[in-house]
Amino acid sequence: MAETRELMLARIREAIAVQHGPELPLPRDYERQGSLSAEARVETLLDRLREYDAQIYEASSENVATTVTNLCRQRQVKSLVVPEGFPAEWLPAFGGMIPEGELDRKPLSEIEAVLTTCTVAIAHTGSLVLRHGPGEGTRRLTLLPDLHICIVREEQVVETVPEAFDALREYVTAPITFISGPSATADIEMTRIRGVHGPRYLDVVLVRG
Amino acid sequence: MQITLFITCYNDTLFPETGISVVRLLERLGHEVVFPLAQTCCGQMHYNTGYQQEALPLMRQFVETFRNAETICIPSSSCVAMIRDHYPKMAEASGDAALAEEVAALLPRVFELTELLTDKLGLEDVGAYYPHRVTYHASCHSLRGLQLGDRPLRLLRKVRGIDLVELANIDQCCGFGGTFAVKNGEVSAAMLAEKMRCVENTGAEICTAVDNSCLMHIFGGLHRQRTGIRTVHLAEILASDGSGA
Amino acid sequence: MSIRVGESASAPSFQQAALALLDDTQLRRNVRHATDVITRKRGLVVGEQADWQALRDAGSAIKRHTLRHLDEYLLQFEQAFTAAGGHVHWATDADEANRIIVGLVKQHGGKEVIKIKTMTSDEIGLNPALEAAGIHPHETDLADMIVQLGADKPSHIVVPALHKNRQQVREIFARAMNLPDLGDRPEDLTAAARRYLREKFLKVKIGVSGANFLIAETGGVCIVESEGNGRMCLTLPEVLVAVAGIEKVIPRFADLEVMLQLLPRSATGERMNPYNSIWTGVHEGDGPREFHLVLLDNGRTKVLANPEARETLHCIRCGACLNTCPVYRQTGGHAYGSIYAGPIGAILTPQLHGMQHSQSLPYASSLCGACYEVCPVKINIPEVLVHLRGKIVEEQSANVESVAMKAMAMVFRSPRRFEAAQRLGRIGQWPFISGGWIRNLPGMLGNWTAVRDLKPMPQQSFREWWKQREKSNG
């Protein structure tokens, strides 16, 4: 195996020794910083999430718990898993709640919904970015339940993709998931169909103020 | 202005009326046209088919023939694209530094016909009269190679009497592609069938373009199908002034 | 060495394969519909991205820079990936990669694996290798499932079942999943796939994947997908084995800010695809506890060694060139006889494979340039096609075409010979003229007159007209 490695590296070195033009600086003239107002940034995020078929709810920081309680009731959710480190003041008043630490009570595959925070959200692409830190759960937690409820604070919304990568700079080796709408496919006649293997429903609660 | 014409080998042989029109048009606009008889072919067909070795002497010949020309006019976007996109690389690869220098010096003087009229001569209205329903086919080399944009359309819109109709899917290749039309005849024919449908749907009598190569292919199909639609090089429309000459 | 690109070594020529496919009206309609939809969507999301050309420039430059320092970046990746608990394997060709992967699966006692869509695994023929070792691979991407359950071949690098419509997919699923009452709405079909695979996702202990990007700086891997099958395969199993071409590495984590803007818009016409996973090695308590990555050469270093064509390795497998290609849109992907179809396949397959195979592919293009225009990393595909044609001509022995081309070049080299040939042509064409037109030419040129008439050469060439005018002008 070590031999193969050396052989391949030798071939690569031989190949790249063959004639190159001058080494030019990497052009990075694309847009880094957005130009939208804070309000427009949030509106863009919500619009684009809606286009992906996500359901949007808005709340003040005081009534996040009530908003989540109501939407669980409305969706008739019976079981909801909540990851470690999820803000206590946002926990819904809801009987079917299962803390991540108590998953031995009920297998994750049988739980209907999951409630998490995120690290950053990108207006331009309608994306929520989770680095699976406190409050965001492990990767499987936001995958197996059919409904993902994600809390996004207004100030977490950036406009551009490069701005999101700036925000992730401290977490470059963390497991990171970009979520842009519910699971979907365009494999049949190139038409986007919601809901294949991941959560078929994505509810976003935007917290203002 | 003295303008030196590179007619291209296939226009010379198969479409003399295009060359005659270019001469009439430029002379009508008050310019002197020069035609060096030493010219033959730019080497495009050989180059694109894989015979790059054979294309090299043809490039040398072109450079030789046109080295002293001030302004070169070529009524074929694909030949201009060949010269502009491939000559510098070919010259460099040949290892002949003097040749590379000459090519570099020659390129700014090479103009496709509509480039010459709009960019160099600053014209849109060339005083043409052409009372027909016409649709414009944008050849791939004019569209993506030379990026002619709306230059041909700007010229056509100023033609008196013309009824210019838009061609659907204008950015789709007609399926000519030089030797592609022979090597992959069936696929080329399928692409042609689609282009013909679009041309027929315009209701035009005439389909025009800046390349006779595409037009030969499109007309070949239109004629076989007995559609009655003709193809005419843009130069011929611009040269018409109603005098019937 | 056994470099393999799927089954392309035994595939018929493009011309032969295309001939049969052009008669399949259903397939042509499906391909046309799908490519129309996707090119329209792409046009919208690319059109709204004001800095698109700047992103393309950056993407192309990142790739060019990486290839130039490929040894360094691979070593940096290997070190970081290993430090994060992963195991790197190196494979010079398809057989070696398959041996490593089959060995790893056997070592963990696996009888089946769940797979994320990976073209690289199709390239090396991993599924047949697994099956030969008694291991059942479950394709989990919807399109891959359609292909696998229908015993079909992929026809597109992003949407491998693009040539099938909903009714045909329904037939395949109904039979394979034993669901006689299955409906044919896309929703019915995705729901069936969800039910069919859910249990596999929860049960199978080994996942197999490809990779969209390998990050040298962090040892990270990035996988871009839509359905969530990817996330299932890379987080639920105990062991994950990924296979990736050596060209998949990018220098920095932040380079993804370019790639993740270019890829989704180009591939599926979306601002962002539903899921991107980026992770580094093994994460305690989250995901597989063992992660192997196979770095594959399989002809890539040969491509890298050719300065005229190494940009082929910039490819991020978005499929935009297929969707826009007027040739692909007529024939679909199977005509290319390779799992890499369309314009990128026409340059990649023959280069990986050696020019003796897939000789017809560089000619399967009208050089219209649409592929170059849409390529997010600016691969000048027409130029590489022409370069490869040159290599084919160089290596071939004399034939009718080469003799004719050389003779014509001889003629063009002298204006006198050119004039003589024009005169000769006018005489030579008369046996083929009927009713004022040429309607039937012999040999290869018969391909022209099969559907097109040809106007005979006029009696006077332009240069003759010119000379006559000069003379009369005195």
For chain C, give every domain's residue range.
Answer: 8-301, 415-472
**Coil vs helix vs strand at C80:** helix
Distances in Å between the alpha carbon of A20 and those of A67, C68, C72?
Answer: 60, 8, 16
Report the distance separating Cα A184 and Cα B89, nearest Å.
46
Q: Give the tens place of pLDDT for each residue, B73-97.
A: 999 999 999 999 999 999 999 999 9
Question: Over 90: is that where the pLDDT of B245 sits?
Answer: no
Q: Give the tens place of pLDDT for each residue, C359-374.
A: 899 999 999 999 999 9
Question: Over 70: is that where the pLDDT of B3 sits?
Answer: yes
Q: Using CB atoms, list chains with 3+ pairs below 8 Å to chain A.
A: C
Tokens of C273: 């695809």
Please list the residues that pair with A78 across neighbouring strands: none
* Contact (CB<8Å) B51/C373: no
* Contact (CB<8Å) C462/B219: no
Report the distance separating Cα C367 and Cα C381, nearest Å.
9
Question: Over 60: is that where the pLDDT of C16 sits?
Answer: yes
Report the distance separating Cα C271 and Cα A88, nearest Å.
34
* Contact (CB<8Å) A161/C260: yes
Q: Is C467 exposed, middle or buried (0-12, 13-18, 19+ CB in 10 A)?
A: middle
Place of tokens 């946002």: A90
Residue C37 Cα, gap to closest chain B Cα (Å)? 14
The H or E element spanning position B111 is strand B110-112
CB-nearest partner of B191 from C330, C402, C464 = C330
Report the distance separating Cα B212 and Cα B233, nearest Å.
6
The residue-averaged pLDDT of A45-59 equals 97
Residue B154 Cα, gap to closest chain C Cα (Å)? 23
* Contact (CB<8Å) C373/B192: no
Question: Over 80: is that where the pLDDT of C355 sits?
Answer: no
Question: Over 90: is that where the pLDDT of A67 sits?
Answer: yes
* Contact (CB<8Å) B173/C437: no
pLDDT of residue A24: 85
Residue B139 Cα, gap to closest chain C Cα (Å)? 9
pLDDT of residue A192: 82
Q: Which amino acid is at A76?
A: Q
pLDDT bin (cut points 50, 70, 90) of residue C462 is very high
Q: Are C241 and C295 a contacting pair, CB within 8 Å? A: no
Within 8 A of C455 by CB-CB distance, chain B residues are 14, 216, 219
Please list the residues that pair with C39 across neighbouring strands: none
From the CB of residue A60, how many other CB atoms can be counted at a distance below 10 Å? Answer: 11
Best mutation target among C49, C95, C271 (most A Cβ atoms within 10 Å) is: C271
The residue-averaged pLDDT of C189-197 equals 93
Question: Over 60: is that where the pLDDT of B146 sits?
Answer: yes
Question: Over 70: is that where the pLDDT of C22 sits?
Answer: yes
Question: Over 80: is that where the pLDDT of C354 sits?
Answer: no
* Contact (CB<8Å) B35/C463: yes
Please list the residues that pair with B2 across neighbouring strands: B32
**Coil vs helix vs strand at C114:** strand
Domains of chain B (ranges; CATH) run: 2-120 (3.40.50), 133-239 (3.40.50)
* Contact (CB<8Å) C409/B186: no
* Contact (CB<8Å) C304/A12: yes
pLDDT of residue C6: 86
Q: Using CB atoms, list chains with 3+ pairs below 8 Å to chain C.
A: A, B
pLDDT bin (cut points 50, 70, 90) of residue C5 is confident
Question: Over 80: is that where the pLDDT of A64 sits?
Answer: yes
* Contact (CB<8Å) C272/A127: yes
pLDDT bin (cut points 50, 70, 90) of residue C444 is confident
pLDDT bin (cut points 50, 70, 90) of residue B244 is low
Contact A/B (≥3 CB pairs under 8 Å): no
**Coil vs helix vs strand at B50:** coil
Q: Give the tens place of pLDDT for each residue, B165-216.
A: 999 999 999 999 999 999 999 999 999 999 999 999 999 999 999 999 999 9
- What is chain B's mean pLDDT, rounded? 97
Q: Are C267 and A187 a contacting pair, CB within 8 Å? A: no
CATH topology of domain C8-301: Rossmann fold (3.40.50)
Report the distance separating Cα C354 and Cα C352, nearest Å.
6
pLDDT of residue A187: 87
CB-nearest partner of A196 from C70, C227, C257 = C227
* Contact (CB<8Å) A26/C62: yes
Helix then strand then coil, % of chain B, to nearest 5:
55, 10, 35
Question: Over 90: is that where the pLDDT of A95 sits?
Answer: no
Task: Give the number of C-alpha atoms closer than 13 A to the C-alpha of residue C364, restricted to the C-beta side.
Answer: 35
Domains of chain A (ranges; CATH) run: 36-184+192-208 (3.40.50.10420)
Count of positions (residues) in chain A: 209
CB-nearest partner of A186 from C54, C231, C268 = C268
Tokens of A78: 């019976």
* Contact (CB<8Å) C260/A178: yes
Residue C440 Cα, gap to closest chain A Cα (Å)? 41
C53 near B CB under 8 A: no
pLDDT of residue A1: 65
Count of positions (residues) in chain B: 245
Report the distance separating Cα C55 and Cα C247, nearest Å.
19
Q: Are A161 and A128 a contacting pair, CB within 8 Å? A: no
Share of chain B above pLDDT 90, in %: 98
Report the distance separating Cα B115 and Cα B130, nearest Å.
21
Give the A:C interface size as CB pairs under 8 Å: 243
Report the distance separating Cα A19 and Cα C308, nearest Å.
10
ipTM, two decimals: 0.97
Residue B16 Cα, gap to closest chain C Cα (Å)? 4
Question: Over 90: is that where the pLDDT of A19 sits?
Answer: no
Q: Give the tens place of pLDDT for each residue, A148-197.
A: 999 999 999 999 999 999 999 999 999 999 999 999 998 888 888 888 99
Q: Give the tens place of pLDDT for each residue, C25-84.
A: 999 999 999 999 999 999 999 999 999 999 999 999 999 999 999 999 999 999 999 999
Count of positions (residues) in chain C: 474
Tokens of C236: 């639920």
Helix then strand then coil, % of chain A, to nearest 5:
35, 25, 45
